[in-house]
Amino acid sequence: MTVFLVLAGIALLVTGGDLLVRGAVRLAESLRVSPLVIGVTLVGFGTSVPELATSLIAARDGAPAIAIGNVVGSNICNILLILGAAAVLRPIVIDARMLRRDGAVLAATTLLCIAVLAAGLLVPATAAVFLLLLIVWTGATFVAGRTAMTAAGPSLGAAPLPRPAVPVLLTLGGIALVILGANMLVDGAVGIARGLGVSEAVIGVTVVALGTSLPELVTSVSAALRGQNDIAFGNILGSNVFNVLAILGVTSAFGPVPVNPEFLRVDIWVLVAATVALLAFSATGLRITRAEGLALLAGYAAYCTSLFIHI
């Protein structure tokens, strides 16, 4: 039964995430923002809704290790597995402006994540700071995107606006499926962890993290195949920033969240290494090549293997 809950939850998350992204992108089109902004904010945030719902439900159900592990594991998965797979299918060209601005934000939020987990500061005050930083960054990104659209010329705004009803319905339907799927996935993951004697922290950074990252996988791979590099790369940057600032922030907003020291031994340092690799590969020729994508995939395989060897 627990395996069925996990599989059904993942299926609902993928379906809901797809609907949510479609609705968000069409809403973004009606706002006349650039693909860069769509990728970093609406698509990146939209595909992170499964992580948000899953972590909140896990914290509610008394499984904080899954809530925190989902954030750390999803960010590792986003870089090593998802961006790696997208780059193997088609090398990803990096926008220099995005790398300078949002790459720096990604590095800063990763360091912030390490600091609060190491200090055990997942408390309501931390939530307020994280959410304020998220609002400031999102606002700055939209302003930059609007400026880029204006500089590109008036032709970008010539097409008629899409009707808002369908995007709104897609978005709401996606959110409903995501929340239902998150409930089922957490219930199944906790059952597997207890039944097999596996640490909930390990389940959180592997099964749950991978399941909730599937919308990012589908989005980034599809965008890479279509040559939409802003969305493919921006989706990962935006999702990882959102996971730290929004998910850890909201999860700790309702009371202190205990930090399992297991994350500080291996997982958080893998996240650091993955982030450094992402920024280094991106800065080298402003592209992530197939060889670099294979290196990222190999890193994810090694990480997952090491987790289960030490169970």
All residue ranges of the chain with pLDDT < 50 are 155-158
DSSP state of 267: I
Residues 48-90: pLDDT tens digits? 777 788 788 877 777 777 778 888 888 999 999 999 999 999 8
Give SS3 for 1: coil
* 172 φ/ψ angles, rounded to the nearest 5 degrees: -65, -40
pLDDT of residue 106: 94
CA distance 189 to 66: 9
pLDDT of residue 37: 75
Residue recorded with tokens 């627990």: 2
**In CATH, what number does 2-151+166-309 get?**
1.20.1420.30
Residues 88-117: pLDDT tens digits? 998 998 888 778 888 999 999 999 999 988
pLDDT of residue 34: 66
CA distance 21 to 64: 27
Give SS3 for 237: helix
Closest CA to 82 of 51, 109, 55, 111: 51
